[in-house]
Amino acid sequence: MARDIAEGYTAMTERTFRTLTGPDLQQLAFELDRYLRELRGDQPASDDIPSLQQRNRRIQRLNSALTMLRSYRLKRKL
């Protein structure tokens, strides 16, 4: 699911998280974080602008999904 989010195939909203259980949310957060680290570690050439843009879009999608997930988990605990 992390790859689908990074590629833009799956749009994440709080409604998406409602169907997931606590352990599923924890596993998704782990997968998002792992794939985000993988993307950050893979550096394209600095003169390859399209690859840099695509990488940055993927990182942005994953960061926003991870932020939304963490926010949802905090709201759910309260």
pLDDT-based confidence at residue 78 (cuts at 50, 70, 90): very low
* Residues present in the chain in total: 78
54-73 pLDDT, tens digit per residue, is 999 999 999 999 999 999 99
Number of domains in the chain: 1
Query: What pLDDT sits at residue 16?
Result: 86
pTM metric for this prediction: 0.85
Question: What is the domain range of residue 67?
Answer: 2-77
18-56 pLDDT, tens digit per residue, is 888 889 999 999 999 999 999 999 888 889 999 999 999
CA–CA distance, 65 with 57 (Å, rounded to integer)? 12
Burial of 2 (0-12, 13-18, 19+ CB in 10 A): buried
